[in-house]
Structure 1
Amino acid sequence: MVGTFRPRRMASVALLGALALGLAACGGDYPNSTFNPNSEYNAAIDALWDKLLFWGTLVFIGVEAALVYTIFKFRRRPDGGVPKQVHGNTALEITWTAIPAVILIFIAIPTVRTIFKTQAKAAPEALQVEVIGHQWWWEFRYPQYGITTANELYLPNGRTVNFQLKTIDVLHSFWIPQMGGKRDLISNRTNYLWFTPNKDLPSSAWNGFCAEFCGPSHANMKFRVFTVTVDEFAQWTAHQKQPAIFPAVALAPTTAAPAVAPVPSGTGSTPLLQVAATTTPSTTPADAPAAPVPVWVFPKDKLEKDFAYTIPQTPITNQISFDEALIGKGDAERGRQIYGRSSCIGCHAIAGTPMNMANVGPNLTHVGSRYTIAGGLYPNDTKHLSYWIKSAPHMKPGSIMPSLGKGVTDPKTKMVVNVGGLTDAEVADIVAYLQALK
C-alpha cells in the first residue's frame, strides 16, 4: 500500500517539535551565559546583540514573506503561460541592491560604534592586571600591589580593570562570559582588554575559560573570578602582599591579653590564627615582628551556597593510587624540609623563602588559601592535592609538571620514577606544608 503525504499532519508535528525545543531552551540554569551583563563592556555587547537580532528578525520575516508569496503567486500551473522576464529591469535591480545596503547601514553603525567603545584605552586610574597564559594554567600579576597569583582572579566592584594579555607559549584566549570580553593571547604581542564590574554587584564568583584551542588540556584551562567590594579587595591585597608565613609568627608580650580573631570562612583546612593585641612602646621592642595581616578570601560558605557551579567536580583518575590512610596525616614542618630539597623549588616561587624564586609553575606563596588547583580543574583539598603532587600528568593530560611519586610510570616519558621520587608519606607531608601557606 502506497502511503499518502499529508502536509497538514506533517506541519502539526513540526510545529509541536519546534514548540517543545523552544520550551526546553527556556528552561534550566545557565550560569555561564553571556546574556547577563555585569559590566559596561558586556552591556554594550548585549545591546548590540539586541539591535542586530531585531533588524535580523525583520529582514528574515520580510524575506520569508516575499518568498512564500512568490512561491504561491508564481507557482507552475498546467494552463500557465511563459513567465514574464525581468532581466534588464533597471528599477528592480536598483531596488534589490539598495534595500540590502540600507539594512547594512542599520547594522554597521551600532557595530562600529561598539567596536570603538570597547577598543578605547582604559582609564588611567584603572586597576592593572597582567594575564599570562601557560599550558595549561593562568598567571595573574597585580603590578600596582606586587602580587602574583594563579588561576584565581580578584576584582573590585566599580573599578575599571585593564588586562594586559600575554602568552609564553601558544595561542590562548581569555574569556569571562558573565563579565564580557573575549580576547586572544598572541605570542610576541600584548593585547589589552578592560571592563568595570558593576558597582552595585554583590560579591560574586564566576567561571573563566580559555576560548582558543591550545593543546590536549585546552578544555582544562580554567580559572575563577571573584568580584568583591572595595573593602574586601583591600583586605585580600593586604594579605596577598605578605610573604609566606610559616610557622605562624609569635608576637612579643603585651600588656593586654591577646584575643584570637576569627578566621573568615573559606581560608582552607589549616587556618592561620591572627592575634589581635594592644601594644605600647614601653612594652613592645621596636624590632618586634608585626602581626600577620588576617587571611581574607571569598567566603567558602557563600561560594558553596550561591556559586556552587564554580566548584570543580572533576573525578580523580584511576590510573594511579594513593594510600588514603595518610591523607590529612602529614606533618607540615617535615613537609617544608622535604619540599626544600625536592625538585619543586626548580619550578615554583614562595615569597619570603630565597630558595624558592622560580617562575616556571604557579606561584605558591598563598596556595593554601586558594580554592582550586591544576588550572581550576580540581578543588584545592587534601585528597586532590595529594594525587596531583604524586602524578600531575595522570591527573591532567599534557601537564608539564612531571610525576613525582616513587614507583609511578610517567605517562610522557614512560619511565618509572625511582631516584628522587616521593613516597606517599612524603607527599602527605608536603601537602600539609602547602596547605599551611595561607
Structure 2
Amino acid sequence: MVGTFRPRRLASAALLGALALGLAACGGEYPNSTFNHHTEYNTAIDALWDKLLFWGTLVFIAVEAGLVYTIFRYRRRPGGEKPKQVHGNTALEITWTAIPAVILIFIAIPTVSTIFKTQAKAAPEALQVEVIGHQWWWEFKYPQLGITTANELYLPNGRTVNFALKTADVLHSFWIPQMGGKRDLISNHTNYVWFTPNADLPSSAWNGFCAEFCGASHANMRFRAFTVTPAEFEQWVAHQKQPAVFKAPAPVPAPASAAAPGAASVQLASLQQNAAADSSPAVPVWAFPKERVEAEFAYIIPTAKLPAGLTYDESLLAQGDAERGRQLFSRSTCIGCHTIAGTPFASPIGPNLTHVGTRHTIAGGLYPNDAKHLAYWIKSAPHMKPGSIMPTIGKGLTDPVRKNVISAGGLTDPEIADIVAYLQALK
C-alpha cells in the first residue's frame, strides 16, 4: 500500500510539540539550580555546558535536516523507480568520518581545559574545611580554626575554600547546587574540591545534599550552607571557638535562719556549679539570622512531616527546665554519642552539640530546630528518620529497628522536655 502525505497529521504533531515546549517553559524559580555564577567553579561548568549545548544543537539541526530532506526527497511515490544502491563512495565515507572528528575536537578542548581548571590544587591561603559524610548527616571541621560543627556550613565570601571529602561509612557525594562542586566521598580515600564564593555575593543561604545513594535515608541527608561577609564569618568563628554558653537560672538561696546544718556548703556548691554554667560568652553569639531565612530563603526551611503514630505531650515543653536537662544529659545515654565543648563529656559518634541552639535544623537537615521537633527526635529518632543509628529513648516505646521495649535508661516525656530546654539553651 502506498502512503500519502497528510499535512493535517503533520500540523497536529507540530502543535503537540509546541505545546510540550510551552509547558516546559512555564516553570518558576529554581532555588537549587546550578545555572548561576556564584563561584568560579560553577561559572566554568556553566560556560562548558553552553559550549556543549551550542555544538550539540548544531549537530542535531544538521542531522535532522538531512533526515527530513531524505524522507521527503526519496519517499515512495506511485510509479516511482526503485532507488539505486551506491557502495564504496570514498569521498562520502571520508566526509562523514571527518565531520564528527572535527566536532569532537571542538568539544574535547573546552572539556579537558575545564577538567584541568577544576581539578587543580587550591590556593595555599585557602580556608580548609574537612567534610565527613555519615549515615545520614554531615560533619564539618575547620582544622585551621579548631572548629567542629554539624549539618551547617559557613563560608566567607571572596575567600577560596578547599574541601577535603571523607566518609565514615559508605559512599556519599557532597553537593551545593548553587555553588557547584559536586564530588564523591569514597571509603579509605580523600577527594578534594574547591571554589570561591563571589566577593560581591550578599549573605545568603543554600541547600546542600548527598548526591550518591547511600542507604535508607539518602534523600534525608541534607545540610545548609551559609555564604556570609568576611566580618560575619569572623563573628561566627569567634563564637564557635567558645565553649557552650548555657544560661541557667540561678537557684534561690534559702534563708540563713532556716538553713539546716551543712546546708551552706551544699548551697555554695550549687551556686558555683550554676555560675560556671551561666558564664557569659567572651564574644557575642552569632549565627545566620532565622528571621532572614524565613523572609528571604524559605526554600531551605524543612517541610518534612512528623511520623504517624509517634506521640508526645507538647504541653510539657513550656515546663522544661534547662538545669535539670543538663543534669539528665550528663548521666543519660546522650553522652555516649555527643560532644559539648566545655563539659568533660566527649564522643565523636554523633553530631557535635556545642552550639546546637543556634542551628536552624536537626536530624541531618530534615526537621526545623525547634522545641517540638527536637522533643520528638529525642523520643524516637528511628521513627523520625528511617535507618537512624540514634536509638529510641522514650520510655515504654518499642524501637522500630531493634524491636526492644525501652525501659531502663529510657526518658519520660517530662525528662525529654528538660533536655530539650537544655539543648535549646546551648547558644
TM-score, normalised with respect to structure 1: 0.88
Matches within 5 A, 1:183-222: 183-222=183-222
Map of 1:328 onto structure 2: 318
Q: Report if the CA contact (8 A) 2:245-2:280 is conserved.
A: no
Larger displacement relative to structure 2 (371-380 or 29-38): 29-38
AA partner of residue 19 (structure 1): A
Q: Which has the higher helix share?
A: 2
- Offset at residue 317 of structure 1 (A): 0.8
User: Which of 284, 288, 303 is 2:293 aligned to?
Assistant: 303
Q: Deviations over 1:389-414 (max 9, x none)?
A: 00000000000000000011100011
- Offset at residue 291 of structure 1 (A): 4.7
Task: Output the CA distance in 1 between the equivalents of 2:19 and 2:79.
Answer: 42
* Closer, same or farther: CA 200–437 of 1 in aligned 2, 3 Å: same
Map of 2:305 onto structure 1: 315
SS in 2 for 1:129: strand
Map of 1:282 onto structure 2: none
Q: Deviations over 1:118-137 (max 9, x none)?
A: 00000000000000000000
Q: Deviations over 1:39-62 (max 9, x none)?
A: 000000000000001111010000
- Offset at residue 6 of structure 1 (A): 8.9
Structure 2 stretches lacking a partner, 5+ long: 251-278
Task: Output the CA distance in 1 between the equivalents of 2:338 and 2:318.
Answer: 23
AA partner of residue 32 (structure 1): N
Q: Report if the CA contact (8 A) 1:249-1:291 is conserved.
A: no
SS in 2 for 1:174: strand
SS in 2 for 1:181: strand
TM-score, normalised with respect to structure 2: 0.90
- Offset at residue 167 of structure 1 (A): 0.1
SS in 1 for 2:287: coil
Task: Output the CA distance in 1 between the equivalents of 2:318 and 2:61.
Answer: 64
* Closer, same or farther: CA 85–12 of 1 in aligned 2, 3 Å: closer
Map of 1:11 onto structure 2: 10
Task: Output the CA distance in 1 between the equivalents of 2:23 and 2:230.
Answer: 40
Task: Output the CA distance in 2 between the equivalents of 1:349 and 1:404.
Answer: 18
Task: Output the CA distance in 1 between the equivalents of 2:54 and 2:316.
Answer: 61
Map of 2:140 onto structure 1: 140
Q: Deviations over 1:4-26 (max 9, x none)?
A: 99944443443333333333333
AA partner of residue 189 (structure 1): H
Is 2:366 the counterpart of 1:377? yes
Q: Report if the CA contact (8 A) 2:206-2:225 is conserved.
A: yes
Larger displacement relative to structure 2 (423-432 or 13-22): 13-22
Map of 1:391 onto structure 2: 380
Is 2:168 the counterpart of 1:168? yes
Task: Output the CA distance in 2 between the equivalents of 1:68 and 1:19.
Answer: 18
Is 2:80 the counterpart of 1:90? no
AA partner of residue 18 (structure 2): L
Task: Output the CA distance in 1 between the equivalents of 2:18 and 2:78.
Answer: 37
Map of 2:255 onto structure 1: none
Is 2:424 the counterpart of 1:435? yes
User: Which of 345, 353, 363 is 1:364 aligned to?
Assistant: 353
- Equivalent pairs counted in the alignment come to 396
SS in 2 for 1:325: helix
Map of 1:413 onto structure 2: 402
- Offset at residue 299 of structure 1 (A): 1.3
Task: Output the CA distance in 2 between the equivalents of 1:317 and 1:336.
Answer: 28
Q: Report if the CA contact (8 A) 2:245-2:281 is conserved.
A: no
Task: Output the CA distance in 2 between the equivalents of 1:293 and 1:91.
Answer: 78
Task: Output the CA distance in 1 between the equivalents of 2:74 and 2:12.
Answer: 28
Task: Output the CA distance in 1 between the equivalents of 2:382 and 2:15.
Answer: 49
* Identity level (%): 75
Task: Output the CA distance in 2 between the equivalents of 1:135 and 1:92.
Answer: 57
Task: Output the CA distance in 1 between the equivalents of 2:153 and 2:23.
Answer: 34
Q: Deviations over 1:319-363 (max 9, x none)?
A: 210011112320000000000000110100001111x21000000
Matches within 5 A, 1:93-132: 93-132=93-132
Map of 2:341 onto structure 1: 351
Matches within 5 A, 1:32-51: 32-51=32-51
Task: Output the CA distance in 1 between the equivalents of 2:78 and 2:6.
Answer: 21
SS in 2 for 1:402: coil
Task: Output the CA distance in 2 between the equivalents of 1:44 and 1:310.
Answer: 25
SS in 1 for 2:117: helix
SS in 2 for 1:88: coil
- Offset at residue 318 of structure 1 (A): 1.6
Task: Output the CA distance in 2 between the equivalents of 1:359 and 1:116.
Answer: 36
- Offset at residue 302 of structure 1 (A): 1.2
